[in-house]
């Protein structure tokens, strides 16, 4: 009740200042903030010797205040008038550096988003991150609903031999502590960033974070892991999991393409994410990487990678290093992407259903992805597809050594998140299979994979292929006897393909700006495919 009365009194004072001193009330400094209390101050070395933050376009400040701290007020400094406000955007992460005078110092950061003079629990963005005497790269995430405009940021460190068991209070008295205030400005949209590059043959540290309810960032939105320039390396969708302190990093290989003893080649980047507490339920994950790294793996003979759709992810206990000796057995934990995307010229993969954090490696190897120590009695040597009509996707696959094998479950994803069974093709001792999906999702991308199932229930998956359905090109009538009309195509030369794959070029006659006509009266009765640009349309000749 006392805190509520104090808060209401501050609000009343603020409203009075608007009426009688409007120019004064327009500044954050017009709001009365508490002066943190302390017993010893920083006399035991528990001081903020360096605090920096890098905002939009890399613009920020760095305050290297050294070993000393304020005497009046004791261990509290107001730097809101000393540095220009740093611009931060909603939903994004921002890095900075912190260094203290004692190895057992813990830092907490708040931003007073509602400008009421109180740093409330829902305004805490970093919760007791251990800093110490070595320069520490940290990061904070700005909430999606952060109030736009200028606000006060408070950073406070407390000295503690062990990790604090309670959250740090922005005002309460601590034996050993220092507190500093700064100004930031929240905007609505962030500028485009890059994918973190990293140093050649080195482990690049990313901004350490606290990801939990106390830090207000454990929801179903992305928490970006960033480097010292705020470039992306990964994003975690924690979906309610409290991870505590998160220490991310990644290794950038600049030597020959790495290969394990099973013969698989690996992308020139691996991520390590160490967490204080492993998740108790599944989480989602986005893995960013450079297009040059993908191209390097594609160029490597024997990698089995021809595009981003050939990549899968392996989790292991190897830390942020180039050294991984043996992946045998670990390959049973292969994670298949559920989404693919591009970002500022580079790439990312999405994964769902993950249950723990460690190190993550991307690799290919072959079209067939399974346990190399216990393979299925079939070799999948090709899997590809074509969009023949707006509502038909044709899938083709080729196999060898098909013995005592059950068949192929066809799975599809229309949202890049979940794969579902759409059909099952039983083995027929053939080397080539074909399947037509007639329930295609409009003009979006449809993802497909095969689940190869043995008679004993053992199974594995193919690579994922993606088929994009372009804008509709209309043909009519169909079936047709003589003339067929084509709409929404600027081409004038078309190809007719018969059941034997034979191709015949046919010239169209332009009727108007949107319609063209071709005469197929001389063709025998049967089923044909009309090729319009890169698209195929099935027609029936009567």
Tell me the C-alpha distance between 256 and 246, whole Å: 31
Burial category of 451 from C-beta neighbours within 10 Å (exposed 0-12, middle 13-18, buried 19 and up): middle
- Residue-wise burial string across 224-233, b where 16 or more C-beta atoms lie within 10 A, e elsewhere: bbbbbebbbb
β-strand partners of 483: 519
Q: What is the pLDDT of residue 488?
A: 67
Q: Which token pair is 486?
A: 């084509």
Assigned token pair, 277: 């507490």
User: Would you state the structure tokens that stand for residue 155, as one six-digit string?
Assistant: 């950073």
Token pair belonging to 332: 């049973």
The burial of 442, by beta-carbon neighbours within 10 Å (0-12 exposed, 13-18 middle, 19 or more buried), is given as exposed
pLDDT 10s digit of each residue in the chain, 542 long? 444 444 454 444 444 444 443 433 345 567 889 999 999 998 888 999 999 999 999 999 999 988 888 999 999 999 999 999 999 999 999 999 999 999 999 999 999 999 999 999 999 999 999 999 999 999 999 999 999 999 999 999 999 878 888 999 999 999 999 999 999 999 999 999 999 999 999 999 999 999 999 999 999 999 999 999 999 999 999 999 999 999 999 999 998 888 765 567 889 999 999 999 999 999 999 999 999 999 999 998 778 788 888 888 888 877 776 555 444 334 446 788 888 899 999 999 999 889 999 899 998 854 444 444 445 677 777 787 877 665 688 898 888 878 778 889 999 886 655 778 899 998 887 788 999 887 766 556 788 888 888 887 777 777 777 776 655 667 888 888 888 888 766 666 667 776 555 667 677 777 777 788 888 888 888 877 777 665 667 788 88
Distance CA 191, CA 70 (A): 37
- Compute and round to an integer the Cα radius of gyration of the chain: 30
Q: Are 347 and 288 in contact (CB under 8 A)?
A: yes
How confident is the model at residue 17, as a pLDDT?
A: 41
User: What's the confidence (pLDDT) of residue 20?
Assistant: 42
> Which pLDDT belongs to residue 185?
97
41, exposed or middle or buried, with CB in 10 Å at 0-12, 13-18, 19+?
A: buried
Look at residue 154 in the predicted model and tell me its pLDDT.
Answer: 98
Could you identify the residue written with the tokens 């920096």? 52
Q: What pLDDT is stored for residue 478 in this prediction?
A: 84
The CA distance from 536 to 531, in Å, is 4
Run of H or E including 20 = helix 2-20
Backbone torsions φ then ψ of 108, nearest 5 degrees: -130, 140
Residue environment code for 475-509, b if the CB has 16+ CB neighbours within 10 A, otherwise e: beeeebeeebbbeebeeeebebeeeeeeeeebebe
Position 519 scores a pLDDT of 86
Task: Tell me which residue of 69, 124, 79, 61 sits closest to 102, measured CA to CA.
Answer: 69
Q: Kindly state the helix (H) or strand (E) to which residue 528 belongs, with its residue range.
A: strand 526-532
In this prediction the pTM is: 0.67
Q: If you write DSSP's letter for every residue of 67-98 in order, what string do you get? A: S---TTTTTEEE-TTTSPPEEEETT-EEEEEE
């Amino acid at each position: 009740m006392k805190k509520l009365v104090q808060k209401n009194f501050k609000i009343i004072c603020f409203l009075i200042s608007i009426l009688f001193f409007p120019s004064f009330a327009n500044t954050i400094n017009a709001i009365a903030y508490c002066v943190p209390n302390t017993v010893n101050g920083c006399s035991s070395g528990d001081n903020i010797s360096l605090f920096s933050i890098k905002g939009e376009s890399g613009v920020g400040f760095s305050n290297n205040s050294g070993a000393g701290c304020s005497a009046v007020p004791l261990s509290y400094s107001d730097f809101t008038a000393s540095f220009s406000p740093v611009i931060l955007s909603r939903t994004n992460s921002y890095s900075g550096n912190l260094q203290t005078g004692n190895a057992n110092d813990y830092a907490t950061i708040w931003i007073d988003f509602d400008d009421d003079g109180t740093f409330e629990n829902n305004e805490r963005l970093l919760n007791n991150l251990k800093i110490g005497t070595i320069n520490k790269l940290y990061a904070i995430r700005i909430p999606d609903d952060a109030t736009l405009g200028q606000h006060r940021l408070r950073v406070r460190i407390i000295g503690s031999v062990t990790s604090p068991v309670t959250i740090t209070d922005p005002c309460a008295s601590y034996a050993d502590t220092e507190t500093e205030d700064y100004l930031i400005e929240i905007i609505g949209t962030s500028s485009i960033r890059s994918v973190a590059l990293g140093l050649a043959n080195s482990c690049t540290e990313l901004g350490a974070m606290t990801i939990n309810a106390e830090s207000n960032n454990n929801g179903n939105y992305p928490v970006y892991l960033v480097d010292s320039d705020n470039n992306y390396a990964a994003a975690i969708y924690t979906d309610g999991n409290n991870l505590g302190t998160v220490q991310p990093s990644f290794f950038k290989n600049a030597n020959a393409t790495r290969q394990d003893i099973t013969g698989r080649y690996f992308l020139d980047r691996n991520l390590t994410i160490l967490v204080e507490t492993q998740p108790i339920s599944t989480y989602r994950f986005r893995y960013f990487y450079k297009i040059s790294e993908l191209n390097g793996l594609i160029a490597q003979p024997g990698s089995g990678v021809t595009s981003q759709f050939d990549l899968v992810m392996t989790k292991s206990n190897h830390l942020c290093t180039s050294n991984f000796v043996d992946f045998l057995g670990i390959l049973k934990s292969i994670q298949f992407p559920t989404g693919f995307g591009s970002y500022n010229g580079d790439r990312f993969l999405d994964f769902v259903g993950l249950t723990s954090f460690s190190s993550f490696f991307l690799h290919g190897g072959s079209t067939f992805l399974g346990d190399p120590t216990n393979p299925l009695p079939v070799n999948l040597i090709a899997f590809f597809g074509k969009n023949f009509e707006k509502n038909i996707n044709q899938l083709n696959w080729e196999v060898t050594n098909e013995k005592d094998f059950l068949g192929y479950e066809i799975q599809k994803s229309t949202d890049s998140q979940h794969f579902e069974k759409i059909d099952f093709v039983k083995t027929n001792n053939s080397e080539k299979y074909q399947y037509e999906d007639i329930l295609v999702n409009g003009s979006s991308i449809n993802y497909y994979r095969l689940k190869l199932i043995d008679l004993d229930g053992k199974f594995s998956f193919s690579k994922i292929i993606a088929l994009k359905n372009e804008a509709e090109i209309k043909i009519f009538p169909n079936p047709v006897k003589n003339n067929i009309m084509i709409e929404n195509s600027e081409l004038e030369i078309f190809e007719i393909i018969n059941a034997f794959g034979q191709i015949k070029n046919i010239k169209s006659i332009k009727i108007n700006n949107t319609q063209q006509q071709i005469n197929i009266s001389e063709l025998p009765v049967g089923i044909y495919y009309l090729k319009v640009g890169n698209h195929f349309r099935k027609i029936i000749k009567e």
